[in-house]
């Protein structure tokens, strides 16, 4: 199952820069992950300073 980003997101963009398939983009209030593109690698979770990305 694809990763999701919780409301804990501080919109720093660290996750988007580390996503190898560019599945993460800036949303209205937080960054969002395209579930169809996500390869479930966990790179986003590894770099997030607040732990917002998690397996959905």
Is 10 part of any domain?
A: yes
pLDDT for residue 1: 87
Q: Domains in the chain: how many in total?
A: 1
Domain annotation covers residue 41: yes
Q: Which domain holds residue 15?
A: 3-46
pLDDT in tens, 10-33: 999 999 999 999 999 999 999 999
Q: What is the DSSP string of 1-55?
A: --EEE-TT-----HHHHH-TT--EEE-SSSEEE-TTT-----HHHHH-SS--EEE
Sign of CA dihedral 6, 48, 2, 11: positive
Residue 39 lies in a domain: yes
pLDDT at 5: 98
User: Distance between CA atoms of 30 and 26, rounded to whole angstroms?
Assistant: 6
**Does residue 42 fall inside a structural domain?**
yes
Average pLDDT, the chain: 97
Would you say residue 53 lies in a domain? Answer: no
In a domain, 27, yes or no: yes
Whole-number pLDDT of residue 56: 87
| Predicted local distance difference test score (pLDDT) of residue 49 | 98
Give me the mean pLDDT over the 44-51 stretch.
98
CATH number assigned to the domain comprising residue 25? 3.30.70.20
């Amino acid at each position: 199952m694809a990763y999701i980003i919780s409301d804990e997101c501080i919109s720093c963009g660290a996750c988007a820069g580390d996503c190898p398939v560019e599945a993460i983009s800036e949303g209205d209030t937080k960054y969002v992950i395209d579930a169809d593109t996500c390869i479930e690698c966990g790179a986003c979770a590894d770099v997030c300073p607040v732990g917002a990305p998690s397996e959905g």
